């Protein structure tokens, strides 16, 4: 059983991106795979795989799910699918010890129309998770599952042509409330594995939200801090 962290990125890593990889390596001895395009400041001790631009351009989040299916991993491996604006405060692979599941997602710690944030999710490599990921990719490319179509109508103006952004997060939001027609077990790992500022989805970032977020930096009960727009709002590093 291996531990694998999977990232995808295009362009030069920001300072927070560099800190993301550094902090992960400090907290875990996992294998790190980075699919990349034009990343000149490549992290050390990382497996680098070039992005297929034809599959990446204008369909980034859809391709992110496709690559999760194509990772060079083994049966039983524990996989984390991660953004690059994260700070790891303790070992993120502890999530796999909390419960038995095929795929986990991370809910926000506040009320939002988008109750799941797709910056951190993951799965155990097995036949059930493979079928669930195949279902997710199929829906992103050609929506037919009614709960997903309803969500897209409500929040994305039913633009089924949109493959670039939000597809993975929208699917996780729907999966958190509607059992998929796939025999796979799901687990909500909660805010501590993806602690976001209380903003986004029409919620403005307030001074109180910024203060609340910063106070959690250094508290390792919050395993992963997710900067989001805080990267732009204040100097945290």
Query: Which bin fits 56, alpha (ψ -120 to 50), beta or left (φ > 0)?
Result: alpha
Residue 237 pLDDT: 44
Residue 54 pLDDT: 93
Find out whether 88 and 28 touch, Cβ atoms under 8 Å: yes
Other CB atoms within a 10 A radius of the CB of residue 192 amount to 19
Residue 77 pLDDT: 98
User: Domain coordinates of the chain in residue numbers?
Assistant: 3-233
Residue 231 pLDDT: 66
Question: Which pairing describes strands 224-226 and 86-88: parallel, antiparallel, or unpaired?
Answer: antiparallel
62-108: pLDDT as tens digits: 999 999 999 999 999 999 999 999 999 999 999 999 999 999 999 99
User: Which residue, chain included where needed, has tokens 């010890």?
Assistant: 97
Residue 232 pLDDT: 63
Say how far apart CA 162 and CA 160 lie, in whole Å. 5
CA within 13 Å, CB half, 26: 12
Domain covering 3-233 in this structure, CATH number: 3.90.550.10
Residue 1 pLDDT: 85
Residue 216 pLDDT: 94
**Secondary structure (3-state) at 156:** coil
Say how far apart CA 117 and CA 119 lie, in whole Å. 6
Say how far apart CA 187 and CA 184 lie, in whole Å. 10
Residues of the chain with pLDDT under 70: 158-160, 229, 231-237
Residue 233 pLDDT: 61
């Amino acid at each position: 059983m291996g531990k694998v962290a999977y990232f995808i990125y295009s362009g030069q890593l920001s300072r927070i991106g560099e800190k993301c990889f550094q902090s992960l390596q400090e907290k875990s001895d996992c294998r790190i795979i980075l699919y990349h395009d034009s990343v000149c400041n490549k992290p050390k001790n990382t497996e680098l795989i070039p992005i297929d631009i034809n599959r990446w351009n204008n369909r980034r989040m859809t391709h992110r799910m496709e690559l999760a299916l194509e990772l060079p991993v083994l049966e039983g491996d524990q996989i984390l699918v991660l953004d690059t604006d994260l700070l790891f405060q303790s070992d993120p692979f502890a999530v796999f010890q909390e419960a038995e599941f095929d795929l986990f997602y991370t809910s926000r710690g506040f009320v939002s129309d988008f109750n799941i944030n797709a910056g951190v999710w993951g799965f155990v490599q097995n036949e059930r998770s493979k079928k669930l990921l195949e279902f997710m990719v199929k829906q992103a490319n050609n929506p037919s599952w009614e709960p997903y179509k309803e969500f897209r109508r409500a929040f994305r103006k039913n633009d089924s042509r949109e493959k670039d952004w939000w597809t993975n997060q929208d699917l996780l939001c729907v999966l958190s409330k509607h059992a998929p027609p796939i025999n796979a077990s799901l687990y909500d790992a909660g805010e501590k594995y993806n602690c976001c500022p209380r903003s986004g989805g029409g919620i403005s970032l307030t001074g109180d939200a910024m203060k609340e977020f910063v106070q959690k930096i250094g508290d390792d009960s919050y395993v992963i801090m997710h900067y989001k727009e805080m990267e732009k709002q204040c100097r945290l590093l």
